[in-house]
């Protein structure tokens, strides 16, 4: 939505309506697909259910192929798509903290909101923890600012870092996702025996 809104192709009120509708649709899909189940979400960490990983990889690959294909045929101006800076140290630390929280609670931020809206009180604890964490981080920012900005390498992408065409990376990631899919299916069948 960002590039469309920033180019003034839609009004702010239409933008807000789109955001709300997309958020509601996302929540409905999460709930109906069973992705608010802590058993399904923690199955990845227990190596017995890779549904979430497979769905995430499909989403990443489809979005990546679609975005770059549309950019290559000049439907999307890729320079208008926001790519944040890479702070590899702080992102590594944040990813580890996120993973630990995900593993311990069985929820990620999106699934905790949908689970709470669906009546799960344990998700409320996760949401309160997230709010407390944001509060702690925001009011204590001067304490974390060094870590927050650690490892800044600018707007880094794999194609730029490796000096290759983006389709080389896209093909590699697509093949890796296919291999992961095959391995996950094989493993799930093996442990089900």
Mean pLDDT of the 83-99 span: 92
> Which residues partner with 152 through β-bridges?
87
Q: How far are the Cα atoms of 60, 81, 141, 154, 158 from residue 107, in angstroms, in the given order?
A: 20, 29, 25, 31, 29
Stated as kind and residue range, the H or E segment containing 40 is: helix 38-42
Binned at pLDDT 50, 70 and 90, residue 13 comes out as confident
Q: Which residues contact 128 (CB under 8 A, 6 or more apart)?
A: none
Write down the pTM of the prediction. 0.74
Whether 184 contacts 54, CB under 8 Å: yes
Residue range 131-158, pLDDT digits in tens = 999 999 999 999 989 999 999 999 888 9
**From CA 169, how far away is CA 162, in angstroms rounded?**
9
Residue 169 has pLDDT above 90, yes or no: yes
Mean confidence (pLDDT) of the chain: 88
Q: In whole angstroms, what is the distance from residue 24 CA to residue 1 CA?
A: 15
Question: 141-148 and 88-105 helices cross at what angle (nearest 10)?
Answer: 110
For residues 115-141, average pLDDT: 92
Domain boundary assignment for the chain: 1-32, 38-192
Query: For residue 122, is pLDDT > 70?
Result: yes
Strand partners, 71: none
Percent of the chain with pLDDT strictly greater than 70: 95
pLDDT of residue 75: 83
Per-residue burial over 89-101, b = 16 or more CB atoms within 10 Å of its CB, e = otherwise: bbeebeeeeeeeb
Mean pLDDT of 72-80: 85
Which of 138, 135, 113 minimizes the C-alpha distance to 125?
113
* Residue 42 pLDDT: 86
pLDDT exceeds cutoff 70 at 9: no
Phi-psi region of 93 (alpha: psi -120 to 50; beta: other; left: phi over 0): alpha
Mean pLDDT of 81-103: 91
Question: pLDDT (tens digit, 9 = 90+) per residue, 17-40?
Answer: 888 998 899 889 888 888 888 888
What pLDDT is recorded for position 1? 44
57-62 contacts at long range (C-beta below 8 A, 24 or more positions apart): 57/177, 57/180, 57/181, 58/177, 60/173, 60/177, 61/173, 61/174, 61/177
- Among residues 27, 81, 31, 62, the alpha carbon closest in space to that of 178 is found at 62
């Amino acid at each position: 939505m960002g590039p469309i809104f920033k180019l003034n192709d839609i009004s702010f009120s239409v933008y807000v309506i789109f955001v709300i509708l997309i958020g509601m649709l996302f929540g409905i899909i999460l709930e109906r697909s069973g992705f608010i189940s802590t058993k399904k979400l923690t199955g990845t960490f227990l190596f017995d259910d890779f549904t979430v990983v497979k769905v995430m990889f499909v989403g990443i690959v489809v979005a990546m192929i679609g975005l770059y294909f549309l950019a290559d045929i000049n439907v999307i101006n890729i320079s208008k798509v926001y790519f944040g800076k890479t702070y590899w140290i702080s992102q590594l630390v944040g990813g580890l903290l996120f993973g630990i929280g995900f593993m311990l609670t069985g929820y990620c931020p999106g699934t905790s909101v949908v689970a709470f809206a669906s009546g799960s009180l344990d998700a409320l604890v996760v949401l309160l923890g997230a709010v407390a964490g944001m509060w702690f981080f925001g009011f204590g920012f001067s304490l974390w600012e060094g870590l927050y900005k650690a490892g800044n390498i600018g707007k880094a992408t794999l194609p730029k870092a490796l000096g290759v065409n983006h389709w080389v990376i896209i093909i590699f990631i697509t093949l890796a996702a296919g291999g992961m899919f095959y391995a996950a299916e094989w493993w799930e069948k093996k442990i089900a025996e």
